[in-house]
Structure 1
């Protein structure tokens, strides 16, 4: 398969995904194989919550739309223009993918990267996300049967691979690093995202910060779990702005976490700020539990910049109104571009340079 062929296949997938959105899914006449796949995918979206309680239709639709927006010819060309990729897959490798399952299709970028570089993907899905990616793989194979020999889902032990990309917790990463010590690898650990405020943010920006906090119930590494604010900052304006997200407390799994974590904090005599569906706790850690966000005060923005750079291996992305270099805009953390790599590790370069 040439690079242009592979890009065209993923553009077709993007067109397929663009049909699905909450409450307004509709078939388009120019999308390939809708007669085979459309209804089944719509049903799978609504069944996803039975497979993983956090995968509500709203969250799955959001993920699907994000990928529909990413998989365009323009985006693929812009992303891949920075690389020299073999047009004919002459140096194909078997790449093992060990995927996470914290948010829907979280491993899709690795899957895409392996295939677009002409390699073969040996995929071990998370038990929390076993259905969405295999379905999309079937659609891709329907569009171009040459992909059939390049995609394998593995249930047992991974064998006969040349490189590995594995995503897990800090604990599992130690196992991965030992087990795959003799293979070229990307091993991803826990990371969290932070926001830096200075009090000048508009109500709209703070509302968008709520999106960064609550999307996927806060389960993603790109969700904001830590906020830095200037000394003397009061959170009234923030609480007022994020009140639009109050319905999150009506979801049982989130509510259970809110009740449990709040009780643990209170029993430990921690001071909390609480609006009835989110607690704010002053804490130096970046990793807050579901339904809680940690915060810290800062005195000097330059000193904070230095600290964030020193802590970069703990941080996935930083949200600010331009206060921090290379920060992400409010409301955009869960809409990464194809060229926004997890942990800032260039997956394409890794795949192209691994022997």
Structure 2
């Protein structure tokens, strides 16, 4: 299968995913495979919600729409143009997927396929409804995918390389179990936002998307703020208020209540608006419904701190983002060439 074959099929897949909406999905009868897969995909979206209390239709559709926007001819060309994949392929690559947000391992899945390899997927129990339908859709578009995509519920075996994503604790298990195999092992990372105090309410409103999308469960979600020493959080809280209905989600509310009780019993100082707590803390990973913050004196001091902790950070987010930074509101809209942990997956796969 050529790169052009892959690109063509992925463009069609993008159009398939684009059909699904929060309400009133619109079926495109000209798309191949819709008779088999449109209704099934819609049903699996509902099924995913029932299997994982952190998934809701809005967030699943958001994920599908981001992939629909990514899988265009232009983006696929930009993504793959710099690689020589003419000699790549033929290996079996295992993927151990996380399940914190919908389709979180989909980029690895696509990367293995376009690199010419076979993919062996171990899904997370928290996100096992959507990807099999997408895989079946690709197989329907081109039967050659049938021998190249497999799922397993058991331990991975008979593979040449592996990409595994999990916590710092599971990473130690992965490193032991997969020793001797070429691998990408991903650990905990968190994203931070830098605030200067000069942001408008509209700009901070974009940042709220980075904080609350997927309830803050993704590694690209902002979990910590760096603010000037004299920062007044009033404008920040006003910009966050558009997400106030998030407290009506039971699992989020339970986490908010639990963490607030723990903080109050420990007599920590909090800033609280009824659905989000701010706690001054040097850690990078904050609990659900909480944002940590840390004050900085100047950009030089902050730059030094971030450099020392680069292995803990997924995204650095700020208004008017510079090189290697992400603009407000864009953390959950990564491009195909935005690699997790800054590890070039295609380059890794092309050298197997």
TM-score after normalising by structure 2: 0.98
Cα distance in 1 between the residues matched to 2:76 and 2:191: 26
Which of 213, 237, 241 aligns to 1:239? It is 237
Cα distance in 2 between the residues matched to 1:324 and 1:347: 23
Secondary structure at the counterpart of residue 5 of structure 1: helix
Q: How does 1:301-340 map to 2 (within 5 A)?
A: 301-322=299-320, 325-340=323-338
How far apart are residue 322 of structure 1 and its match?
3.6
Q: Which residue in 1 is equivalent to 2:285?
A: 287
Q: Do the aligned partners of 2:47 and 2:129 also contact (CA within 8 Å) in 1?
A: no
How far apart are residue 106 of structure 1 and its match?
0.1
Which of 215, 218, 225 aligns to 2:216? It is 218
Secondary structure at the counterpart of residue 31 of structure 2: coil
Cα distance in 2 between the residues matched to 1:256 and 1:143: 44
Q: Which residue in 2 is equivalent to 1:53?
A: 53
Q: Which residue in 2 is equivalent to 1:106?
A: 104
Q: In 2 relative to 1, CA 268–349 (structure 1 residues): closer, same or farther, beyond 3 Å?
A: same
Q: Which residue in 2 is equivalent to 1:172?
A: 170
Secondary structure at the counterpart of residue 120 of structure 2: strand
Secondary structure at the counterpart of residue 46 of structure 1: helix
Q: How does 1:54-203 map to 2 (within 5 A)?
A: 54-86=54-86, 91-203=89-201
Secondary structure at the counterpart of residue 303 of structure 2: helix
How far apart are residue 7 of structure 1 and its match?
1.1
How far apart are residue 316 of structure 1 and its match?
0.3
**Where does structure 1 differ by over 2 angstroms across 4 or more consecutive aligned residues?**
322-326
Tell which deviates more after alignment, 228-237 or 38-47: 38-47
How far apart are residue 30 of structure 1 and its match?
2.2
In the TM superposition, what whole-angstrom CA distance separates every residue of 1:16-75 from its partner, at most 9, and x where no partner exists? 001112113101132111111111111211221111111100110000000000011110
Q: Do the aligned partners of 1:196 and 1:323 also contact (CA within 8 Å) in 2?
A: no
Tell which deviates more after alignment, 41-50 or 123-132: 41-50
Matched residues, number: 352
Q: Do the aligned partners of 1:196 and 1:324 also contact (CA within 8 Å) in 2?
A: no
Give the RMSD, CA atoms, in angstroms: 1.1
Secondary structure at the counterpart of residue 330 of structure 2: coil
Cα distance in 1 between the residues matched to 2:230 and 2:194: 14
Q: Which residue in 2 is equivalent to 1:342?
A: 340
How far apart are residue 323 of structure 1 and its match?
6.5
Q: Do the aligned partners of 1:228 and 1:296 also contact (CA within 8 Å) in 2?
A: yes
Residue 277 of structure 2 is aligned to residue 272 of structure 1: no
Tell which deviates more after alignment, 78-87 or 266-275: 78-87
Secondary structure at the counterpart of residue 198 of structure 1: coil
Q: Which residue in 2 is equivalent to 1:33?
A: 33
Q: In 2 relative to 1, CA 275–168 (structure 1 residues): closer, same or farther, beyond 3 Å?
A: same
Q: Do the aligned partners of 1:109 and 1:338 also contact (CA within 8 Å) in 2?
A: yes
Q: Do the aligned partners of 1:101 and 1:129 also contact (CA within 8 Å) in 2?
A: yes
Tell which deviates more after alignment, 32-41 or 184-193: 32-41
Secondary structure at the counterpart of residue 196 of structure 2: coil
Q: Which residue in 1 is equivalent to 2:296?
A: 298
Q: Do the aligned partners of 2:119 and 2:148 also contact (CA within 8 Å) in 1?
A: yes
Residue 227 of structure 2 is aligned to residue 229 of structure 1: yes
Tell which deviates more after alignment, 103-112 or 310-319: 310-319
Q: In 2 relative to 1, CA 325–267 (structure 1 residues): closer, same or farther, beyond 3 Å?
A: farther
Cα distance in 1 between the residues matched to 2:161 and 2:35: 37
Q: Do the aligned partners of 2:255 and 2:288 also contact (CA within 8 Å) in 1?
A: yes
Cα distance in 2 between the residues matched to 1:241 and 1:157: 46
